[in-house]
Structure 1
């Protein structure tokens, strides 16, 4: 059974400010470069039989700085498309839609929960069918949480219970035959 490592990209200006960033292709801040570079101390590229990354610069650059020179770009690892909420903070959105949460509310002009679940379930299936001992995915905060919830078979509305820091490593695996979180925000 494959163990799946999830790595959230290093800090960007918008992740620092809390702005929703999907298609806006930001680079890492200086701190984000440091976070990504420190991953070299914990991750050995030779340990992974499958290395995937989101197409976004921040994820690809994190992979590169972590020592993964040629990850395969997988469009399904892109961040949840925020549509009209791109660049806005949750507080700004809540001024228009009180109580808004990405996990439970619609996103005008953006992806639906079902679309995001379908996309990231394809990644889960790909990893589980790969036959490798370890796989690693460089992705984003919301997309990585959806991927983890798909791995576990948990309703995506529970995503709010799994905060994910920039530059964090999470490990999904199994407890006996049951999908499990082995490490979170390591």
Structure 2
């Protein structure tokens, strides 16, 4: 069976509602985020997953568990969110006061991850994933998911700024016509 990667962003958190940059801070889902995760599980129910990988952060783990996959999930450190360094907990407006021309996907974060570092991390995960066959579930985060998506199709990290991921969304990465040299995005942000 050809590889199909089902990429899920975690459910809503207080910081995703407020627009704060949420990288490595380990915050839980809101009640609404828990409901989103359960609904995501209903959408995923018809699919049999050969592998389930989850970020070590609790918002992704909670989403995975509430979706019904906690018992079979393996923690994958490379799925953790972009390290926002000095910008952790700040909104875009807060950062723009300091640096009006800032762009995460171009500049990264001071004392956090650079675009080159997160690109290398996504590429390491892709190297692991391409060795697998079948359906793979990934429970991760917004910015890392965007980087993974663009790196999957061979684009630079900066292209991630053009791919939005909503909470509890589902995206599918695959191969066009099952040719491993033709990675494709079947659906995004569903």
Structure-1-length-normalised TM-score: 0.96
User: Is 1:73 equivalent to 2:103 in the alignment?
Assistant: no
Uncovered stretches (5+) of structure 1, i.e. residues with no partner: none
CA shift, 1:67, in A, is 0.5
- Equivalent of 2:88, from 66, 86, 89? 86
Report the number of matched residues: 185
CA shift, 1:55, in A, is 0.2
Uncovered stretches (5+) of structure 2, i.e. residues with no partner: none
Distance in 2, Cα, partners of 1:45 & 1:125? 27
SS at match of 2:105: coil
Match of 2:131 in 1: 129
Residues 19-30 of structure 1: pairs in structure 2 closer than 5 A:
19-30=20-31
Structure-2-length-normalised TM-score: 0.94
Match of 1:172 in 2: 173
Match of 1:47 in 2: 48
Distance in 2, Cα, partners of 1:79 & 1:45? 28
Could you give the per-residue CA deviations for residues 53-92 of structure 1, whole angstroms, max 9, x where no partner exists?
0000000000000000231001110000000000001111
Distance in 2, Cα, partners of 1:36 & 1:174? 27
SS at match of 2:130: helix
Match of 1:117 in 2: 119
SS at match of 1:137: strand
- Out of 45-54 and 155-164, give the one that drifted further: 45-54
Match of 1:13 in 2: 14
Distance in 1, Cα, partners of 2:7 & 2:185? 11
State whether residues 107 and 114 of structure 2, in contact with CA within 8 Å, keep that contact through their aligned partners in structure 1: no
Residues 137-176 of structure 1: pairs in structure 2 closer than 5 A:
137-176=138-177
SS at match of 2:127: helix
Match of 1:2 in 2: 3
Distance in 1, Cα, partners of 2:87 & 2:77? 21
CA shift, 1:44, in A, is 2.7
Distance in 2, Cα, partners of 1:137 & 1:40? 13
Distance in 1, Cα, partners of 2:149 & 2:126? 9
Distance in 2, Cα, partners of 1:150 & 1:45? 28
Distance in 2, Cα, partners of 1:47 & 1:173? 16
CA shift, 1:138, in A, is 0.2
